[in-house]
Amino acid sequence: MRKAFVLCCSIALLGTPGAAGAQDWTKSKWGPDDEIGAANYMTPDLVVKAASLVKTGKTYALGIPVDTKTPAYPPRSFKITIVQPGQAGIDGLGPNKATYNDDIIDTWVGIGSQLDGLGHLGVAHVYYNGNKLADFADPTGLKKLGIEKVPPMVTRGVLLDMAAYYNTDIVKEGTAFNVKEIDEVAKKQGVEIRQGDVVIFHTGWLSLIGKDDKRYSAGEPGLGVEGAKYLTSKGVVAIGADTWALEVLPFEGKTVFEVHQILLAMNGTYILENMDTAELAKDKGYEFLFVLGQPRWRGGVQSMINPIAIR
């Protein structure tokens, strides 16, 4: 487990532009000033169509609860402290004795269910739309590609149940989802992946948390390089899974986080990690209204999230 994490953490091992793609990916189709990438595919018309998918009104929280024991990519950690400011030694504030609790959170943002912004991962220090690290990164917050720039995601969601496809509760680590697998699952479920969609894979991997954290953290099934290129060619807004990194681990080749590079840096396609898809898969909710409004931390790289699927 530690080996895999150390390998993945090393910036020196990040892929080069040639490894991840030979085309000039540094120029966005939406112009030199674009900072929202594939979110441009979402239009008012698509939102209206997506809203029409709601038939039962049943909602599904796709985010997981987070605490100090939640497995996280090293060295990330989480801590919450509950305090009662100004209330020590008294019965309460004012004649009505009002009392209250506040909370202080000391945490890395990339823990639990999360949205990877376009400033999260690049190629040799070059990020989405050709933004160079030295020009936009700052310890006080990103000057471009901040998580606050991501517009509300309200669109059609598609669940691809890979556990059902492989006839298992938990898909084996190292299993890559590429064109063949994606097309066969979509056909089996009777769904079509369209421009503007959010596509989420169900693998059963999240069920390992609290039961086998070591296995959960050491690898995972996930999106392959070919599959990433395929889905971005369809114009999806975001791709997610019930895994901690979305892409397959161990990696398919010698590259490191190449799927992240293809999605975030090269296509502006967002990544959703640790999505709680169990109930949605159980109900065969393969098509739904997807709603996400992330915390808008100015200059942030990622956000903890709790997207909602509505059927």
The confidence score (pLDDT) of residue 45 equals: 97
The confidence score (pLDDT) of residue 65 equals: 96
The confidence score (pLDDT) of residue 4 equals: 43
116 backbone φψ class: left, alpha, beta (φ>0; ψ -120 to 50): beta
Task: Identify how many contiguous H helices and E strands the chain contains and give both numbers.
Answer: 11, 15
For 225, phi and psi rounded to 5 degrees? -60, -50
* For range 140-162, the mean pLDDT: 98
Average pLDDT, the chain: 93
The confidence score (pLDDT) of residue 53 equals: 98
Listed by start position, the domains of the chain span 2-72+110-310
CB 177 within 8 A of CB 221: yes
DSSP 254: S
The confidence score (pLDDT) of residue 262 equals: 98
Confidence category of residue 13, pLDDT binned at 50, 70, 90: very low
DSSP per-residue letters across 44-112: HHHHHHHHTT-SS--EEE------TTS--STT--EEEEEE-TT-TTSS-BTTTTB---EEEEEE-SSSS
* For range 191-197, the mean pLDDT: 98
Say yes or no to pLDDT of 151 above 80: yes
Buried b (16+ CB within 10 A) or exposed e, 20-56: bbeeebbebebeeebbbbbbbbbeeebbeebeebeee
The confidence score (pLDDT) of residue 9 equals: 40
The confidence score (pLDDT) of residue 5 equals: 40
CA distance 52 to 42: 15
Nearest one of 30, 8, 64, 53 to 258, comparing CA atoms:
8
Say yes or no to pLDDT of 3 above 80: no
User: Residue 134's CB: how many other CB atoms inside 10 A?
Assistant: 7
18 or 57, higher pLDDT? 57
Share of the chain above pLDDT 70, in %: 93
Confidence category of residue 282, pLDDT binned at 50, 70, 90: very high
For residue 53, the one-letter residue type is L
Strand spans (E) along the chain? 59-61, 78-83, 102-107, 114-116, 126-127, 131-132, 153-161, 176-177, 198-202, 222-223, 238-241, 270-273, 287-292, 302-304, 308-310
pTM: 0.91
Nearest one of 166, 229, 226 to 202, comparing CA atoms:
166
* For range 21-48, the mean pLDDT: 92
Say yes or no to pLDDT of 8 above 60: no
The confidence score (pLDDT) of residue 23 equals: 62
Read off the pLDDT of residues 234-265 as tens digits, 9 standing for 90 and up. 999 999 999 999 999 999 999 999 999 999 99
For domain 2-72+110-310, give the CATH number. Answer: 3.50.30.50
Read off the pLDDT of residues 152-176 as tens digits, 9 standing for 90 and up. 999 999 999 999 999 999 999 999 9
Say yes or no to pLDDT of 214 above 80: yes
CA distance 181 to 227: 9
Read off the pLDDT of residues 97-113 as tens digits, 9 standing for 90 and up. 999 999 999 999 999 99
CA distance 311 to 309: 7
Tokens of 300: 């942030």
The confidence score (pLDDT) of residue 235 equals: 98
